Amino acid sequence: MAHAVRALWPLGRALAWRLGDRPALGLHAQSRAGFTGAAGGSGPAATARKGGPRLLGAAALALGGALGLYHTARWHLRTQDLRAERSATQLSLSSHLQLTLYQYKTCPFCSKVRAFLDFHALPYQVVEVNPVRRAEIKFSSYRKVPIVMAQEGESLQQLNDSSVIISALKTYLVSGQPLADIITYYPPMKAVNDQGKEVTEFCNKYWLMLDEKEAQRMYGGKEARTEEMKWRQWADDWLVHLISPNVYRTPAEALASFDYIVKEGNFGTVEGAMAKYMGAAAMYFISKRLKRRHHLRDDVREDLYEAANKWVAAVGKDRPFMGGQKPNLADLAVYGVLRVMEGLEAFDDLMRHTHIQPWYLRVEKAIAEAPQ
Ligand SMILES: N[C@@H](CCC(=O)N[C@@H](CS)C(=O)NCC(=O)O)C(=O)O
């Protein structure tokens, strides 16, 4: 059962943390690995109560930016001549890709990727992975989901990690560079987490590999690019950590959450029944531990509401989305993470007690209206 529970989102991730799997990256891990870094709890909500992680987060962001700039420059010099020829074909790029998404439907990282693919009208096939046996991803040495397999002509690429998948595909859509080249700019890095365990992270994962012209066209200025990176990282490093403590807050909520996970997921009948009751019980207790680990309040809803309102304040009143007239990658990431709570009490509470609903519905609509 422990194995079943470990592989399941949100429970699987929670148990991964419990088992010391989480890349809670200290300075040591970051300097060893030199990656953009998921500095634990470095988002605005966390930094209100924690000064150190804020500095780490800023340092990680700056480091990622510097690495990204370096890679962008290197790549720009190499491909300058090809660029002009490619621009004419960019519109049809998405039709050159055949994508397969390996996922757990209720995993927030997978939901982020789907939000991205749907908004960009990129067709894809879904393989729902059985969280107990994970046979569907046996081919992969990277053992988490989401994974995207991307076939571009003769070339088949495996993209790991939600943020890498999104950054690589967005770079592809904007620049037209071959995906095989793009993914070399997001190399995996081994790091050591705060429990001394080796974990895999990815360099530059919030950075798009664009030349100056493309970046200008896409963002209009440096601030918009930095803002998008910052809030994408916040969604991964802070917002995601609020999900489990909120959806497993009480025994009844834990049971409802598992009911939903089992219904949506790829479980055998016995596995499903076991996961529902044993998983709900396990997660109810584990979520208390997560609450302490992430320094959440006694009433974890308070943290969720605060995060949502911070996000709404960051979007502001003068634009429908953080991306302006259309969602950017941060809008899609925050939406994707929150969406996994739909249908649960935590989601209804969130809509009722914060100002996030109008923005949330706008993103939902923008995705629904994407040309199919
Ligand atoms: N940083 C990764 C995290 C992915 C992740 O933790 N996925 C979980 C499911 S939500 C998983 O596959 N867990 C299985 C395991 O850890 O063994 C991403 O953004 O994609």
Does 307 map to a domain?
Answer: yes
Residues 6+ apart with CB under 8 A from 176: 83, 86, 87, 89, 90, 93
Task: Clarify whether 258 is annotated catalytic.
Answer: no
Residue 251 lies in a domain: yes
How far, in Å, CA of 17 to CA of 297, rounded? 19
Q: Which of 107, 219, 260, 284 is catalytic?
A: 107
- CATH code of 332's domain: 1.20.1050.10
| Total residues belonging to the chain | 372
- Is 110 in the active site? yes
Distance between CA atoms of 218 and 216, rounded to whole angstroms?
5
Residues 6+ apart with CB under 8 A from 270: none
Q: Please state at what angle helix 329-339 crosses helix 300-315, rounded to 10 degrees.
A: 160
CA of 243 to the centre of ligand 1 (A): 14
Say what the pTM is. 0.80
Residue nearest to atom 11 of ligand 1 (CA): 144
Helix orientation angle between 300-315 and 222-237, rounded to the nearest 10 degrees: 170
Question: How far is the centre of ligand 1, averaged over its atoms, from the C-alpha of 145 (Å)?
Answer: 5
Residue 32 is assigned to a structural domain of this protein: no
**DSSP reduced 3-state for 314:** helix
Q: How far apart are CA 148 and CA 161, in angstroms?
A: 9
Distance of CA 7 from the midpoint of ligand 1 (Å):
9
Residue indicated by tokens 């040495």: 141
Q: Where are the alpha helices (DSSP H) in 90-221?
A: 108-119, 162-175, 179-182, 212-219
In a domain, 284, yes or no: yes
Question: Can you tell me the distance from the alpha carbon of 259 to that of 280, in angstroms, rounded to the nearest whole number?
Answer: 9
Is 116 within 8 Å of 336 (Cβ atoms)?
yes
- Residue whose Cα lies nearest atom 2 of ligand 1: it is 161
SS3 assignment, position 225? helix
Domain coverage including residue 178: 84-369
Residue 76 forms part of a structural domain: no
**Which DSSP symbol is given to 8?**
S
What are 127's two structure tokens?
């393989």
Q: Is 124 in the active site?
A: no
Q: What tens-digit pLDDT sequence spans the chain (372 residues)? A: 434 343 334 444 433 332 233 332 222 222 222 222 332 333 333 333 334 444 444 444 444 445 454 544 444 444 444 344 434 444 467 778 999 999 999 999 999 999 999 999 999 999 999 999 999 999 999 999 999 999 999 999 999 999 999 999 999 999 999 999 999 999 999 999 877 889 899 999 999 999 999 999 999 999 999 999 999 999 999 999 999 999 999 999 999 999 999 999 999 999 999 989 999 999 999 999 999 999 999 999 999 999 999 999 999 999 999 999 999 999 999 999 999 999 999 999 999 999 999 999 999 999 999 986
What is the distance in A from the centroid of ligand 1 to the CA of 104?
9
Q: Which stretches of 176-299 are DSSP H helices?
A: 179-182, 212-219, 222-237, 243-247, 251-264, 269-274, 280-293
Count up the domains in the chain and report the number: 1
Ligand 1 pocket test, pick from 101, 145, 160 with the greatest ligand atom count within 8 Å of Cβ, gives 145
137 located within any domain = yes
In this structure, the residues whose C-beta lies within 6 A of any atom of ligand 1 are 6-7, 9, 12-13, 16, 104, 107, 109, 143-146, 161-163
